[in-house]
Structure formats: structure tokens, C-alpha cells
């Protein structure tokens, strides 16, 4: 039975199925955070006199059971429950009776889902950061192993000036470090407590929003209740944008490695254990993992696009359209973390073919250096440029 049902069987079955969609499955990722937020909400309700001394511990115990069940993958959300918020209230009411029926006092599913998604996102951002740091460590180990080996630096995909694998790998480290700041900024942006904004228009009596802010570890309380709703989609897009930045780096890293591991370049050797084969060509060792990383940036970019399109031209306040902004957020986190992890394995296992890369440093690659050396001695650069290379 749904939270809003006054009698059962009212709604058309096909419409019900359509509106629920896969939300009850996606919410398996969210339920733990809803339970955490519900504990904080219950404590606040106790403080303002809704719960008594006996009720709070019972509620807390039941909610912690949900957390444990959820972490074990054993908390089930039935399609008829619609979402995790309903499943939790139904669980509580069944387990502890009246106290369960009180938990929804002073909140709406609108702020309940907002706070649960924020807590989920904060944890996922931390997880993503860890995987990025792991990749950075692998890039640094790669530098220790192969950093000093010279290679051509390319512009326009043509040999340009001398470079090295150290310079190349380090450019990704610096880029990923910049991405971590973008991710940190996304966390800061969303790190505000929407709980207490209710349906988006606040409450007719005073509650203690600062208390739940403190209990849930938010940096501040998100004040305006309309903005709490209106920030939906915007905040998700801010997170996904940060993930896009990481994926852009992986996309470029994969593009480089795919090029460097062609037979023609031959700079990089991919060991068999990260390659797959062909169903028809027995000789093949294919870099599928890199191709999929390259393509997965499109998945996260599409997640950003989807989120922006969903909120495009929506009026203020809660609109059910928001429900569809949950999937791209979850999918973007999962895709990004999996891609970084796969890339970290690749970086750990590839080898540089020193002989091949160094022999690629053909004479013309030193022309700019020659021109600059001439210019350093006082010849105007534009003239030195013409002297340095004739063809």
C-alpha cells in the first residue's frame, strides 16, 4: 500500500506500473541513506515532542535493522511499495506500530528523497575520489618505471617536439588532480540539508532543522524550501559534470593508448591478460578494455545531457519528472568508478617499448629547438625559424 492511498485498487494497473518504473530497483542504492536520515529526523521529532522516550529507541533499532539488511542486499522493495520511502514506513509500521505511523510527521517524500540522495551522493563522491587517487598512484608508478624514456610529442597528430613518457603520464596526473577539485566542489555545493523543507513550502509549525543538519554531517541547512526542490537536477548535474571531467581524462588516456598500441606506433605493449580475442581471427589481441573506457565517457556525458533535459522548462516546485534524474546519477557513479578501476589495472600492466619510441625521435622533431637556440643568440625568432629548417 502506498503512503497516499486512502483505499486500495484505485489506480489503473498499467498506469501504476508505468509510474513506478524501475524506481523500486534503483532505490536499493538509496534505502540505507533514507534510513540514516530517518534516524536523524526521528531524533528531531523527539526533541519537538512528537516521539516520546519509549518510541525513539524502538524506531532507531528498527531503522538500524533496515541499514544492516540493506548492506547485506536483503532489504526488499516490492513493486507495490513504489519506492524505498514507502517500504521503510511500511516496515516500521509493521514492526513497531504507531511510532511508525508518526515518522512522516513534518516531512514529505519530497524532502525525504532529497536528503537520501544527498547522503548517497556524498558517499559515492568519497568512493570515486579513492579510485581516482588509486589511478594517480598507478600513473606515478608508471613514471618511476618508464618516465625517462623519450618519445615524440605530437601536435595535429604529427611529430612536433621531443617529449617523454614522464611528461605524458604526468599530464594526466595533473588533470586528474584538477578533476578532484571539481569533484570536491560538487560535494561542497550539495553539502546542505534539505530535510525540513517538506513538500517544498515548509511547515506550519517550528521544527529544528539545524539539529538534523548537525546529525547528518551537512555543512549547512539549505534555507529556502522552494529552492530545495528547484535544486533537484541542478545539483545532480553538478556532480555528473565533475564525473564527466574524469571521464574526459580517461577518454584521452584511452585514445592515446589505443594509438600507441597499434602495430604502427608500437610504443606500448598491452599484456595478454588485459586483452580479448576475436571469434574469427585467431591471431588477435584486442584492447577492448580501452575501447570501452573510451566509449563510456559518452555514457556519462549522456547522463549529464539527460539530467539537463529533464529539468529544462519545468516550473518551480516538485515535479514527478525529477524521479528520472536518479538513474543517470547512479549510472554515472557506477560507470565512472568502474572505468577508473579498469584503467588503473591497465596502467599497472602496460609496458613501454623503449627501442620503438626512441627511434621515433627523427631529426625534424628538433627543428623548433634549433630555431629557439638560434633566437637565444640574438637572431629575431621569425628569422631563426626560417633558418632552422629547410625542406
Tell me the number of residues near its own copies by CB under 8 A: 167
Q: How far apart are CA 361 and CA 212, in angstroms?
A: 62
Residue 313 appears among annotated catalytic residues: no
Closer residue to its own copies, CB minimum distance, 25 or 68: 25
Segment 42 to 61, residues that bind its own copies, using CB under 8 A: 50
Contact 99, 55 (CB under 8 A): yes
Closer residue to its own copies, CB minimum distance, 47 or 154: 154
Q: How far apart are CA 168 and CA 112, in angstroms?
A: 46
Tell me: does residue 8 bind its own copies (CB under 8 A). no
Measured CA to CA in angstroms, residue 43 lies from 40, 110, 191, 209 at distances of 5, 19, 20, 11
Q: Which residue has the cell 556524498?
A: 122
Tell me: does residue 28 bind its own copies (CB under 8 A). no
Closer residue to its own copies, CB minimum distance, 70 or 110: 110
Neighbouring residues of 101: CB distance < 8 A, sequence distance ≥ 6: 93
Closer residue to its own copies, CB minimum distance, 149 or 203: 203
Identified binder of its own copies from the candidate list 318, 329, 350, 352, rule CB under 8 A: 318
Q: Which residues of 151-165 are buried (b: 16+ CB within 10 A; e: fewer)?
A: bbeeeeeebeeebbb
Which of 126, 178, 278, 359 is catalytic? The answer is 278
Residue 278 appears among annotated catalytic residues: yes
Measured CA to CA in angstroms, residue 226 lies from 229, 235, 318 at distances of 5, 14, 9
CB of 68 to its own copies, least distance (A): 25
Tell me: does residue 182 bind its own copies (CB under 8 A). yes
Q: Which residue has the cell 579513492?
A: 130
The DSSP H or E segment spanning 220 is strand 220-221
Closer residue to its own copies, CB minimum distance, 68 or 298: 298
Identified binder of its own copies from the candidate list 71, 127, 219, 288, rule CB under 8 A: 288
Tell me: does residue 2 bind its own copies (CB under 8 A). yes
Measured CA to CA in angstroms, residue 288 lies from 20, 139, 164 at distances of 36, 20, 26
Binding window for its own copies (CB under 8 A); candidates: 1-9, 27-35, 60-68, 208-216: 1-9
CB of 36 to its own copies, least distance (A): 19
Nearest Cα to 337, choosing from 67, 135, 45?
A: 135
Q: Which residue has the cell 523527539?
A: 46
Segment 81 to 110, residues that bind its own copies, using CB under 8 A: 85-86, 89, 93, 98-99, 101-110
Query: Which bin fits 196, alpha (ψ -120 to 50), beta or left (φ > 0)?
Result: left
Closer residue to its own copies, CB minimum distance, 27 or 89: 89
Contact 343, 250 (CB under 8 A): yes
Which of 156, 279, 312, 313 is catalytic? The answer is 156
Tell me: does residue 65 bind its own copies (CB under 8 A). no
Identified binder of its own copies from the candidate list 21, 134, 208, 361, rule CB under 8 A: 21
Tell me: does residue 217 bind its own copies (CB under 8 A). no
Tell me: does residue 309 bind its own copies (CB under 8 A). yes
Instruction: Give the residue numbers marked as catalytic.
Output: 156, 278
Amino acid at each position: 500500500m502506498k503512503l497516499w492511498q486512502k483505499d486500495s485498487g484505485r489506480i489503473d494497473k498499467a498506469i501504476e506500473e508505468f509510474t513506478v518504473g524501475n524506481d523500486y530497483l534503483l532505490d536499493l542504492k538509496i534505502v540505507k541513506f533514507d534510513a540514516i536520515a530517518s534516524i536523524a529526523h526521528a531524533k528531531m521529532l523527539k526533541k519537538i515532542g512528537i516521539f516520546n522516550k519509549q518510541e525513539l529507541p524502538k524506531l532507531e533499532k528498527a531503522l538500524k535493522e533496515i541499514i544492516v539488511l540493506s548492506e547485506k542486499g536483503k532489504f526488499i522493495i516490492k513493486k507495490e511499495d513504489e519506492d524505498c520511502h514507502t517500504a521503510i514506513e511500511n516496515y516500521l509500521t509493521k514492526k513497531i506500530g504507531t511510532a511508525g505511523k508518526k515518522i512522516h510527521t513534518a516531512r514529505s517524500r519530497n524532502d525525504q528523497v532529497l536528503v537520501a540522495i544527498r547522503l548517497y551522493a556524498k558517499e559515492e563522491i568519497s568512493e570515486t575520489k579513492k579510485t581516482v587517487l588509486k589511478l594517480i598512484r598507478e600513473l606515478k608508478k608508471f613514471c618511476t618505471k618508464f618516465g625517462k624514456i623519450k618519445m615524440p610529442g605530437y601536435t595535429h597528430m604529427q611529430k612536433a617536439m621531443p617529449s617523454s613518457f614522464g611528461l605524458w603520464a604526468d599530464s594526466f596526473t595533473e588533470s586528474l588532480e584538477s578533476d578532484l577539485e571539481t569533484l570536491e566542489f560538487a560535494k561542497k555545493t550539495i553539502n546542505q540539508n534539505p530535510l525540513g523543507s517538506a513538500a517544498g513550502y515548509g511547515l506550519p509549525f517550528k521544527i529544528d532543522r539545524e539539529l538534523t543538519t548537525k546529525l547528518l554531517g551537512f555543512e549547512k541547512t539549505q534555507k529556502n524550501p522552494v529552492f530545495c526542490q528547484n535544486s533537484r537536477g541542478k545539483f545532480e548535474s553538478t556532480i555528473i559534470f565533475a564525473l564527466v571531467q574524469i571521464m574526459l581524462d580517461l577518454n584521452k588516456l584511452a585514445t592515446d593508448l589505443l594509438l600507441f598500441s597499434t602495430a604502427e606506433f608500437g610504443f606500448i605493449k598491452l599484456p595478454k591478460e588485459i586483452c580479448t580475442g576475436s571469434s574469427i581471427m585467431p591471431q588477435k589481441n584486442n584492447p577492448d578494455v580501452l575501447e570501452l573506457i573510451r566509449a563510456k565517457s559518452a555514457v556519462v556525458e549522456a547522463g549529464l545531457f539527460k539530467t539537463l533535459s529533464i529539468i529544462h522548462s519545468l516550473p518551480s516546485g516538485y515535479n514527478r519528472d525529477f524521479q528520472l534524474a536518479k538513474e543517470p546519477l547512479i549510472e554515472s557513479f557506477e560507470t565512472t568508478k568502474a572505468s577508473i578501476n579498469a584503467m588503473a589495472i591497465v596502467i599497472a600492466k602496460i609496458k613501454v617499448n623503449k627501442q620503438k619510441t626512441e627511434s621515433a625521435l627523427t631529426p625534424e622533431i628538433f627543428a623548433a629547438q634549433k630555431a629557439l637556440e638560434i633566437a637565444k643568440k640574438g637572431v629575431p625568432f621569425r628569422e631563426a625559424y626560417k633558418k632552422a629548417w629547410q625542406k
